A and B are shown apart, each in its own frame.
Chain A
């Protein structure tokens, strides 16, 4: 019985694959580059004080560098979904803690507490001399927020974390 891999149809498919898929594959970071970005979410019930949102893990050995930024949809405010009962937005800030790992030389890390009124650049560098392999903890701080005296309302914000591998 003739193998399906030796049929003309299969040869055509292989040719098409090399024509269209190979350029896409070739443009990716295959030259000893590692670019890994993900988040371990903690999903905390928000209360006054510190709330651990999760850990960002970055692994990168791209000689062209990378960037990691955080941006709040409501500029650092837990915004009421409606104001039917006079709800007001609740401000918060973000703090950062470096976990295990290393930051590559040439990569700048900004762990200053931020109000997220503007975009916060957490990691950036365009010509590192060695790799980055780091875990960064993201902590939301809610002050002036007494859980036992919560006023009614639905308050929400979304923080976008953008990773760009150059």
Chain B
């Protein structure tokens, strides 16, 4: 009996000594995870193009990456509504694009171009390559047609293709 009690007491004290000295290191884990947001959407108005001001649609961009994004615009016919044929004397009709910011606040590192010249090829309209804040902006796209020659009143079919490209850097 005495032998058994001594054995049990020694086992208990041995295990306690292990437990007391086992916790010699602890750790604090500091962890922050922010999921990436990179969204671009384009809503087209599909208007019947007339001389003067036309609303083409609007786009929205949301991005929270530090190395940012860029948005560019280009015209297939260099900012002209071009006739499909010129059999009846049709000519190019020039137009220009401008943007109106309708939501969001520009950060100090955002470069905005609301009057891009589409005669110069692909042109940047919005970019931020070193963000210090989340970007969440919306713009309306206007097309202004300069039909001083009244070509739209004459027979003909005119078209152009405008491309707006969003790149997450």
**Residue positions of A touching B, CB distance < 8 A:** 5, 14, 17-18, 21-22, 24-25, 28-30, 35-39, 41, 46, 53-54, 56, 78, 85-88, 90, 92, 138, 140, 149-165
Contact = CB atoms under 8 A, between A and B. Distances in A.
Interface residues of B, number: 34
Interface string B7-26: 10010011001001101111
A153 B66 contact: yes
Contacts of A37: 23-24, 26
Given A21-B14, A36-B20, A86-B66, A54 B34 contact: no
Q: Is the interface of B mostly helix, strand, loop or mixed?
A: mixed
B32 interface: yes
B150 interface: no
A151 B24 contact: no
Contacts of B155: none
A84 to B, nearest CB: 9
B154 interface: no
Interface of B: 3-4, 7, 10, 13-14, 17, 20-21, 23-37, 64-68, 130-134
A22 B31 CA distance: 44
A36 B17 CA distance: 11
Name the 6 nearest CB pairs between A and B, nearest first: A86-B67, A85-B65, A152-B36, A86-B66, A28-B17, A159-B28
A159 B30 contact: yes
Contacts of A165: 21, 24
A87 B34 CA distance: 11
A90 to B, nearest CB: 7
A37 B158 CA distance: 82
Given A28-B21, A151-B131, A165-B21, 19 more contacts: A5-B4, A18-B10, A21-B10, A24-B14, A24-B17, A25-B14, A28-B20, A35-B21, A37-B24, A39-B26, A39-B28, A86-B65, A149-B134, A150-B34, A150-B64, A151-B34, A152-B34, A159-B27, A161-B28
